[in-house]
Amino acid sequence: MTYTKVIETFADGTTVALRKPEFFISHLAYGQMREDVEISPRVAPPMIGLGLLESISDKALLAIAKEQKQQNLGVSGRPNQVWDVEKQKTVIGRFGWKAGQPSLMQQNASAFNGDLGLTSRLFPVENCTSSQSVCKTMPSGGSLK
């Protein structure tokens, strides 16, 4: 990431210097990308208070969804059903984009594995392709506890 200086002028004539970020990807493992590829950085959602969401019972979430549906306002919640790797069963999702993970433990372990290739007791298999040398050099069985 690099920055370009941008000067903006307010209505009263005051000027301010801003930094406009420019993003690029380097050290590509599979060769150059096409020129029409677009990239966009994302900001992860804040995690403040998520432990409180994990403490709400499934019974309470289902009751709230039922009450919203009965109010017939045109909009109501519907708990997402997802696979819980630890419990080996389908449960209510609470975390991640569109409530796709059942617990903070699985949300974090999934992100570590999918985004960084780190293993854990929930996701013990390295998430690397055959051409990524890092998987070939890491000792197998290593994990995050």
Look at residue 117 in the predicted model and tell me its pLDDT: 81
Give the span between the Cα atoms of 137 and 116, in whole angstroms.
15
User: What global pTM score does this model have?
Assistant: 0.63
Specify burial of residue 49 (Cβ count, 10 A radius: 0-12, 13-18, 19+): exposed
Give the span between the Cα atoms of 100 and 108, in whole angstroms.
12
Give the span between the Cα atoms of 122 and 87, in whole angstroms.
10
Q: Is residue 84 part of a domain?
A: yes
**Domain carrying residue 97:** 79-145
When computed from its CA atoms, the radius of gyration of the chain, rounded to whole angstroms, is: 22
Look at residue 51 in the predicted model and tell me its pLDDT: 82
Those residues with Cβ within 8 angstroms of residue 17's Cβ, 6 or more apart along the chain or in another chain:
5, 6, 7
Residue ranges of the chain whose pLDDT lies below 50: 137-145
Domain count along the chain: 1
Give the span between the Cα atoms of 99 and 81, in whole angstroms.
9
Residue with tokens 């409530």: 99
